[in-house]
Structure 1
Amino acid sequence: MGRGKIEIKRIENTSNRQVTYSKRKNGILKKAKEITVLCDAQISLIIFGSSGKLHEYISPSTTLIDVLDKYQRASGKTLWDAKHENLSNEIDRVKKENDSMQIELRHLEGEDISSLNYKELIALENALENGLNDVRQKQMEVHSMFKRNSKILEEQNKELNFLMQQHLAEGERMLGQWI
């Protein structure tokens, strides 16, 4: 005896709908894996549930990009254009630049320098010397600013002491007149 036919329409009960979704999602993922193994097919399956959660399966013998490229060629539909390709290339370029900068930073910190050749070591030494000179120059600027501020504070302190002495003398004179 076979299963009875069901009417294909939205399941109104939230709990029943979630159970059905979970079972059918697992079933379709299982079928995708089976067809990949049995028929050597290249499969890419992407499922977004009502909550927005992503479930995916991609055949081990391919990548999502390869499947999408094949789809684009076979269907004639444009999934992305030259602008997106340029953005992808720009992302790759920035990633490489970032990697390069991280390596350079490690070298400046004295790490991984055994792999550098003589010219690279000389360039690194020059960069470090220039950086050290910049730090010393900034240190001197801060030191002179500190000395200048100290002198200003010292002069202001003397001026305030003088004014305080004048007020005290004036107060004593006034007190002497009242007595």
Structure 2
Amino acid sequence: MVRQKIEIKRIDNLTARQVTFSKRRRGLFKKAQELSTLCDAELGLIVFSATGKLFSFSSSSMTHLLQRHKRLLTDKANKLSQWPPQDDQPENNGNEVLKKELIEKTTELQRLKGEELQGVGLDDLIRLEKLVEAGLRRVGKTKNDMLFQEISSLRMRELELVEENAMLKQQAEMHKSECKSSAPKEGNSAESSIVIDDSSDSFLKLGLPDLNF
């Protein structure tokens, strides 16, 4: 059976309204207690009925919750009365710090390239020189490592080509040897000479017969 959806609007019938209020109030307080227990939250509910009766629920002392609520409202009002708001100050300060750091890093990078050196003191120039030298050493080391790797790779390729060349040469010699062994020897030709015996009775002479006139 499908549960009928109740339209949320004011109940006109007074008796039905009071019954619904009583049921929903108990359900609301039960849910508040479950939320407080499950999530370790401090809850305080204050409900006035249509007749003016007070119903309340609190996970701890209602007085303590009201004082805490009042104190938070006062602090919020004090923050709003200040300009600029204190909530925005940490964000603004953070942006200023990031902006300043970006400018410093950009200037340092330009100086490492040899730019924007006007007004730089001797100590700063010495420090920049050491940084550049250290960077050049790292670049040189990386370049040498790459060259050594490339040379090693070329040597390996050279060995592979030498081995491949030797293998091809050996195969060529074997093929040449096989060709020599399969060639016919002199005097053992497949085509032998045919000797014709004229004295044989079976000898046939080809040509026109002699005519005697």
TM-score, normalised on structure 1? 0.51
CA distance in 1: counterparts of 2:96 and 2:136, whole angstroms: 33
1:55-102 Cα offsets, whole Å, 9 max, x none, are xxxxxxxxxxxxxxxxx979x59xxx8676434332322221111111
Alignment of 1:141 with 2:145, yes or no, is yes
**Corresponding residue pairs, total:** 107
**RCO higher in structure (CA 8 A, sep ≥6):** 1
Distance 1:87 1:171, change over 3 A: farther
Q: CA deviation at 1:162?
A: 0.7
- 1:106 Cα deviation from its structure 2 partner: 0.6
> Which residue matches 2:121?
117
| 1:140 partner amino acid | N
**Which of 105, 108, 114 in structure 2 is aligned with 1:101?**
105
2:127 partner amino acid: A
Unaligned 5+ segments in structure 2 are 1-75, 184-213
- What letter is aligned with 1:164? L
The letter for the 1-side match of 2:173 is A
> Match for residue 174 of structure 1?
178
**More moved, 107-116 vs 81-90:** 81-90
Structure 1, unpaired ranges of 5+: 1-71
- Is 1:128 equivalent to 2:132 in the alignment? yes
Aligned Cα RMSD in Å?
A: 3.1
Query: What amino acid is aligned across from residue 167 of structure 1 in structure 2?
Result: Q
Partner-residue secondary structure (3-state), 1:110: coil
Q: Distance in 1 between matches of 2:179 and 2:106?
A: 75
CA drift at 1:123 = 0.3
Match of 2:92 in 1: 88
Q: Equivalent of 2:154, from 146, 150, 156?
A: 150
Q: Which amino acid aligns with 2:158?
A: E
Whichever residue aligns with residue 117 of structure 2, its letter is: I
Structure 1 residue 108: deviation in Å?
Answer: 0.6
Question: 1: CA distance between counterparts of 2:140 and 2:149?
Answer: 14
Change (3 A) 1:170 1:124: same
Following TM superposition, the consecutive aligned residue runs of length 4 or more in structure 1 with deviations greater than 6 angstroms are: none
The structure with the larger Rg is 2
Which whole-Å CA distance do the structure 2 matches of 1:88 and 1:158 have between them? 70
Deviation of 1:171 (Å): 2.2
